[in-house]
């Protein structure tokens, strides 16, 4: 598989499309009145149950590294998902998608720390452009206090950058099933505990009928199928290269959001979002010899 880069990158692209669509589904769920922890508990609890029959054998022979990495990935995913879901209550799907895409600029630094891959001088330019783009996108001439959702979503980007690097490190020698299933279980447990403590697991005021369809789609595509595709493909793809493909997530979310009438295309969105995408792509341009090296596990 390592010698079939188009197949591997195609899997990452399909996962990215699913994640782009999920912004729309999550927005619909927040509009139904469902709280963050209730949504996360239902989404990832259902996904964990569906995967459980296939993971019993792998769990019996699990290594300590698989258990630790799976739990850490789950914690990072919870932090990222909670920030993203809560942020979507105060921002649009396209803004959320573009800000989340900023994690690609952070990946070289997390990969350096976790995998020993030192970033090049170009990375610093990339980070600078990304900060400028985020400033335009989050402030947009209206003041930072009016964009609380955008700032919350920035925390999501930081958590995802660590998660991407950790998945690459863990997947090279770890169990595909466990590294996909354990994070789902951990996210379900955390959201259950947090929701119980905060009293936010109630269905009171929730339009269940409106939430059911997007919730089901969120369980199947961006959670189960995309999670398996990411864990498998990142065995063979470096985190920086995978992150470039993931930037298309924001593009898909923006286009779909605009087509559905959920997004107004403003100059701040074009300029700020364009700078973010341009920054992460600039930071990941590689010469042919570098690409060949990256495709070799």
Q: 113 is written with which tokens?
A: 């720390």
How far apart CA 138 and CA 117 sit, in angstroms, is 30
Q: 14 is written with which tokens?
A: 């399909």
**208-243 pLDDT tens trace:** 999 999 999 999 999 999 999 999 999 888 887 788
Quick one: pLDDT band at residue 138, thresholds 50, 70, 90?
low
Residue in 271, 282, 286 with CA at minimum distance from that of residue 133 = 271
Q: Compute how many other C-beta atoms are within 10 angstroms of the C-beta atom of residue 71.
A: 15
How far apart CA 214 and CA 14 sit, in angstroms, is 18
Tell me the chain's radius of gyration from C-alpha atoms: 19
Q: What are the angstrom distances between the C-alpha of 77 and each of 9, 80, 106, 253?
A: 22, 5, 16, 19
Instruction: State in Å, rounded, how far the first CA of the chain is from the last one.
Output: 10
What residues does each domain of the chain span?
Answer: 5-294
pLDDT at 94: 67
Quick one: pLDDT band at residue 284, thresholds 50, 70, 90?
low
Residue in 49, 38, 17, 50 with CA at minimum distance from that of residue 211 = 38
Average pLDDT rounded to a whole number, residues 90-115? 80
Residue in 209, 239, 192, 256 with CA at minimum distance from that of residue 18 = 256
**181-194 pLDDT tens trace:** 999 999 999 999 99
pTM of the model: 0.81
pLDDT at 289 over 50: no
In which residue are the tokens 């996962």 written? 15
Q: What are the angstrom distances between the C-alpha of 249 and each of 6, 133, 263?
A: 18, 17, 16
Residue in 117, 129, 69 with CA at minimum distance from that of residue 241 = 117
Residue 59 exposed, middle or buried by CB count within 10 Å (0-12, 13-18, 19+)? middle
If you average pLDDT over each of 5-19, 104-118, 159-173, 249-263, which comes out highest? 159-173
Average pLDDT rounded to a whole number, residues 84-113? 80
pLDDT at 295 over 50: no
Q: Compute how many other C-beta atoms are within 10 angstroms of the C-beta atom of residue 273.
A: 25
In which residue are the tokens 């979503």 written? 153
Q: 201 is written with which tokens?
A: 């697991």
Query: Cβ(236)–Cβ(297) under 8 Å?
Result: yes
How far apart CA 53 and CA 159 sit, in angstroms, is 29
Average pLDDT rounded to a whole number, residues 64-72? 96
pLDDT at 293 over 70: no
């Amino acid at each position: 598989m390592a010698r079939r880069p188009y197949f591997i990158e195609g899997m990452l692209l399909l996962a990215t499309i699913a994640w782009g669509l999920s912004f729309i589904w999550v927005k619909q769920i927040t509009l139904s009145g469902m709280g963050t922890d209730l949504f996360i508990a239902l989404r990832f609890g259902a996904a964990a149950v569906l995967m459980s029959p296939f993971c019993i054998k792998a769990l019996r022979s699990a290594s300590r590294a698989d258990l630790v990495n799976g739990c850490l990935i789950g914690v990072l995913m919870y932090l990222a998902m909670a920030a993203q879901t809560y942020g979507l209550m105060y921002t649009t799907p396209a803004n959320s998608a573009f800000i989340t895409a900023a994690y690609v600029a952070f990946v070289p630094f997390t990969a350096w720390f976790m995998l020993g891959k030192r970033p090049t001088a170009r990375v610093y330019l990339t980070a600078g452009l990304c900060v400028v783009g985020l400033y335009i996108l989050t402030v947009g001439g209206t003041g930072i206090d009016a964009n609380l959702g955008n700032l919350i979503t920035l925390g999501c980007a930081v958590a995802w950058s660590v998660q991407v690097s950790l998945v690459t490190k863990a997947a090279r020698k770890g169990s595909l099933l466990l590294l996909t299933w354990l994070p789902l279980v951990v996210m379900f447990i955390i959201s259950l505990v947090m929701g119980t403590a905060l009293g936010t697991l109630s269905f009171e005021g929730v339009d269940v009928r409106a939430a059911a369809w997007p919730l089901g789609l969120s369980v199947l595509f961006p959670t189960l199928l995309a999670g398996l595709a990411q864990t498998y493909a990142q065995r063979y793809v470096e985190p920086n290269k995978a992150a470039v493909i993931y930037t298309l997530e924001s593009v898909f979310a923006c286009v779909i959001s605009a087509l559905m009438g959920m997004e107004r295309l403003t100059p701040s969105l074009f300029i700020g979002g364009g700078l973010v995408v341009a920054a992460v792509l600039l930071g990941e341009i590689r010469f042919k010899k570098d690409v060949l090296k990256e495709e070799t596990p």
